[in-house]
Structure 1
C-alpha cells in the first residue's frame, strides 16, 4: 500500500480510549483503517513496564504507536525499544493540549518550537525501521496559523517527515480544558486543504469534524490524502467504521451483530488470562447507538460487565436486548 493509501482513513489516538481492546474491536469493522495507540510517553517506555505498554494483537495491523516526549535521546530510545513489537508506524504527538502534557513540554506546546521537533524526529528516524509521522494542530494560542503551520511543515519535511496528520483547530494552552480544545476553537478545514495544495508531495491528513465514511469521502475528494476519525469512532463506531473500507474500493461490510459475535472468542481469551469483561465492553457501549435496543445494550453491559465472574454470557444477554427490540 503506497503512502497516499495507508492513511485514507484512520482512528485517532485517544487517551484512555484507544487501548488494545478498543483497537481489536475497531479492526473487526474496518480491515483497512490505520489504528493508533493511546499516546505513550517516551519516559514510560524507557523506564516502565514495556510489555504492558506495547503489547498488541497481530490482528490490529496496520497499527501505529504514538509517542509523547520532547527529549530527542529519550524518544530515540523509546523507538529502539518498541521496534521488536512490529508497529507499522511511529507518530510524534504535537497536538495534545492537556495540562499534564504541557508540564512535560510535549504535545501541542511543541508547535512553538519546530527546531526542537526537528531534532526529535531526526533522532526517532535514526532508530526506526518504519515511517515516523507527526500529528499536530494548526497552531497554538495567539500564533498566526497561516504563517506557523506552513513553516512547521516545511521545517519537519526538511528533517525527513513526509506524513502529517493535522487537527484542524488551534489549541489554546491557557484558558481551555482538553475537552474544550476539542470543541471550541473553530475548525479550519480550508487551511489544511491549502497545505495539501502547497505541499503536494507530502501526505497530508485531516483530523477534526470527520464523523463517517461519507464526510471522509468528501474531504478525500478535495485532494487530501487521508482523514482521521476521532470521538465519533468511539461513541458511534458502527456508523463511523462499518463500510469505511469502501474508501479503498474494498467491499468488506459486517453487521453489528457479527461484530459482537466475533468479539466473543477474544473476550473469552482475555478472561481466561485473568482479565475483566468491562475492560473490553466499555469500548463497545456505542455500537448500537441510535438503533432500537441500544439503551438495553448499554444498561446490561454497564451494570453487569464489572461484576466478578462476568463473561461472554453478559454480552449475549446485552445483544438479546437489541435483537428483541428489532424484531
Structure 2
C-alpha cells in the first residue's frame, strides 16, 4: 500500500513539473514574459508569465538560459532545456514535445513563411570535433551549424546569422524555406581579427536588403558606429556615430534593444537615453533622455508602427512596462509587476506584446 502511494505521489510530481496545474490558463493577456535562471545552476527553472487582467504563471519549465518565444496563428511557441511547448491562449491548452537534443542556452525563435525555426547554442560536442556547435530545429529535426554565433536578425522570409567558423573571419548566412525545405546560403564574410574586431550590440535589424546595428570598433578604442551589411552585394560599412554611445552602456546584448523607424536606427542605451541614428549618414537625429532604468536587463517589443513597449526592472526587482509613442516621443508607464511571479535567481530573457 505504501509503495502504491509512493508511485502515485511521484506521478503527481511528474505531471505538475512542467506546467501550472489546477489553474485556468486561458486569459486576456496584454504581455508575455519568459524567465529562466542561468546554465551554471545545477537545478534550472523557468517561468512563462502572462500579464493582463490577471497576472499569472502560465507554464513552469526546466528553464533555458537566453530562452525566447514566438507568437504565430494565435499560439505561443517556446522551449526549455529538453522540450518544446505550444500554448493556445484562447483555450489555455499546452502541448509538450520532447526534442532530440538537450540544450542549455537559446539563441532565437522565428517564424519564416508561417513555419517555426528555433536556434540553440549547444556548445562543444562530446566528440573529438573542436568546432563549436549550434542546433537549428525545423519540423522536429535539427541541423548543426558550426561556429560561435555573434548575432541574428530576421524578416518574414529569412533568418540571418553572423558566425565565426574560421578564426579572424565572420560569415553571414541566410536561412529560408523553399517548398518546406530549409535552405542555408552563405552571403559572404568580412575580417574579424582579435583586437580589431567589431562587437555588435543587440540583434541585427533587417531593412531594405541590409543588416543594421550599432557596433563597437576594437581597432579604434571601441568607437561606436553604425554597422551596415548589404545583402545584395555582400559588402559592409562602418560609420562612426554619436560619441556618447559607448560599449559600457550596452544593455542586455542578446535582446531586442534596437529597431528601424522611418530610416533611422532607434538604439536604447543603458545610460537611459534613446538615440535615433540616420541610416545613411550615421548622424544622431534625435536623443530622448528618459527616467527608465536601462542599466540591467531590458527588452523592447513593437506594438505597431508608431508605438513600442519596453520591459525594465527597478532597484527592487519590480518589472515596469513602458510605452513609447514614436510620433511625439512621449513615454508612459503602463504596468508595474511585483517579482512574486518569478524566482529571485530567474532572469527576464524575453518580453513581447500579445499579438
Q: Which has the higher contact order (CA 8 A, sep 6+)?
A: 1
Relative to its length, the structure with more strand (as a share) is: 2
What TM-score comes out, normalization by structure 2 length? 0.27
Greater fraction helix: 1
Larger radius of gyration: 2
**TM-score of the two chains, using structure 1 as the length reference:** 0.29
